[in-house]
């Protein structure tokens, strides 16, 4: 009898059915009142002595296996017939769409690769920051109105913990941890408490660059900017620098490039000025060097920072910044094909 049970067990586990009908026949054959398993249980009543234990276990195993098989077949075959009805099995399947990089990633990589050619190494830092790295170490004194330039998201009630408002916070971490000279580029996502519109979002991407060495001058900054603009927007691109203010740079400037659409003649993208504002920059304020433990007599540096969405918008004539975040596949496809 043991042999019989074992044989049936292997038969049952190996069984497969092509249709619901076959599965039902299988159930009747093995699990109905007069089925093979019920008969074996009948026979089992006569067994006595040593064999009883082993056989009982095996019989139970057999029953469980048969029930599991029936459930498995039911699941696999349920609705199969209706599903197959009227279906042309020879039709080719829908092609799987391959994804592509997000336009922001493409533009960010392009910016990084230009800086890579100038010897700038990528460095990244945390999005959740403390006041020191986002503000204080960058020469934003407490209560200074410059802090209001960047509407900050604080985490909970603690005014010391926030979502970084710019990737300049990463530069502070770099100054803490890296040996001089420093030549780094910091891409990252930044957060500001701003109303979402066609021109602003509460989350966007920045790339900043920081160069600190002996005798770094404004001429180095200007040359870097010129190279960068020509590489990104084309060799005919011109740049101009306008005086500006950032707490962490002195002097500070805003860089414009000649309009990529009208080449300086004036159009509605550049609002008739012929120029497009691209980034902020300047010589690292000696206070920042000092706050970060760098000898300000020996070293000097420049920094610059830009918004990736803004560059992508200007480069590809996109008028609404929200499109980058909605991830409408039609927009993404169209843009990655253009890029």
Interaction of residue 247 with ligand DAH, rule CB under 6 A: no
Give the shortest CB-93-to-ligand DAH separation in angstroms: 48
Q: In the set 221, 281, 311, 314, which binds ligand DAH (CB under 6 A)?
A: 281
Where in 259-321 does DSSP place strands (E)?
275-284, 299-307
- Residue 193 CB-half CA count within 13 A: 11
Q: In the set 108, 133, 147, 166, which binds ligand DAH (CB under 6 A)?
A: 166
Interaction of residue 249 with ligand DAH, rule CB under 6 A: yes
Q: In the set 5, 12, 304, 314, which binds ligand DAH (CB under 6 A)?
A: 304
Structure letter (DSSP) for residue 202: S
Q: Where are the alpha helices (DSSP H) in the chain?
A: 2-14, 20-31, 36-44, 51-77, 80-84, 103-117, 131-134, 168-177, 218-233, 286-291, 308-316, 323-326, 329-338
| Beta carbon nearer to ligand DAH, 12 or 137 | 137
Q: Which residues pair with 165 in a beta bridge?
A: none
| Beta carbon nearer to ligand DAH, 92 or 145 | 145
CA distance 302 to 318: 30
Would you give the binding string for ligand DAH spanning residues 197-236, x where CB under 6 A is met?
A: -----------x----------------------------
Kindly state the number of chain residues that form the binding site for ligand DAH, as judged by CB under 6 A. Answer: 11
Give the shortest CB-169-to-ligand DAH separation in angstroms: 9
Measuring CA to CA, which residue among 3, 263, 64, 285 is closest to residue 168?
285
CA distance 108 to 127: 17
| Beta carbon nearer to ligand DAH, 103 or 280 | 280
Residues that bind ligand DAH (CB under 6 A): 166, 168, 208, 246, 249, 280-282, 303-305
């Amino acid at each position: 009898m043991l042999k019989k049970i074992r044989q049936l067990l292997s038969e049952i586990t190996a069984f497969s059915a092509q249709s619901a009908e076959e599965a039902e026949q299988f159930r009747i054959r093995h699990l109905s009142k007069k089925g093979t398993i019920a008969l074996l249980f009948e026979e089992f009543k006569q067994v006595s002595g040593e064999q009883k234990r082993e056989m009982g276990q095996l019989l139970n195993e057999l029953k469980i296996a048969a029930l599991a098989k029936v459930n498995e077949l039911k699941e696999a075959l349920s609705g199969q017939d209706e599903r197959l009805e009227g279906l042309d099995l020879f039709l080719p399947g829908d092609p799987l769409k391959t994804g592509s990089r997000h336009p922001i990633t493409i533009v960010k990589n392009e910016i990084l690769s230009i800086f890579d050619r100038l010897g700038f190494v990528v460095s990244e830092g945390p999005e959740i920051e403390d006041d020191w790295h986002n503000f204080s170490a960058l020469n934003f004194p407490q209560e200074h109105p410059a802090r209001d330039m960047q509407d900050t998201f604080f985490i909970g009630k603690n005014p010391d913990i926030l979502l970084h408002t710019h990737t300049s916070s990463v530069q502070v971490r770099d100054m803490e941890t890296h040996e001089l000279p420093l030549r780094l580029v910091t891409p990252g996502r930044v957060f500001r408490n701003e109303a979402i519109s066609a021109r602003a979002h509460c989350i966007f991407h920045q790339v900043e660059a920081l160069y600190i060495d002996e005798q770094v001058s404004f001429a180095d900054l200007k040359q870097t900017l010129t190279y960068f603009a020509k590489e990104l927007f084309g060799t005919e691109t011109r740049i101009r620098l306008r005086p500006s203010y950032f707490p962490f740079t002195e002097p500070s400037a805003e860089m414009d490039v000649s309009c990529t659409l009208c080449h300086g003649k004036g159009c509605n993208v550049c609002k008739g000025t012929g120029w497009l504002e691209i980034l902020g920059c300047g010589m690292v304020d000696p206070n920042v060097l000092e706050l970060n433990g760098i000898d300000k007599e020996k070293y000097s540096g420049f920094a610059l920072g830009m918004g990736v969405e803004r560059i992508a918008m200007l480069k590809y004539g996109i008028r609404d910044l929200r499109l980058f975040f909605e991830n409408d596949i039609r927009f993404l496809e169209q843009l990655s094909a253009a890029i």
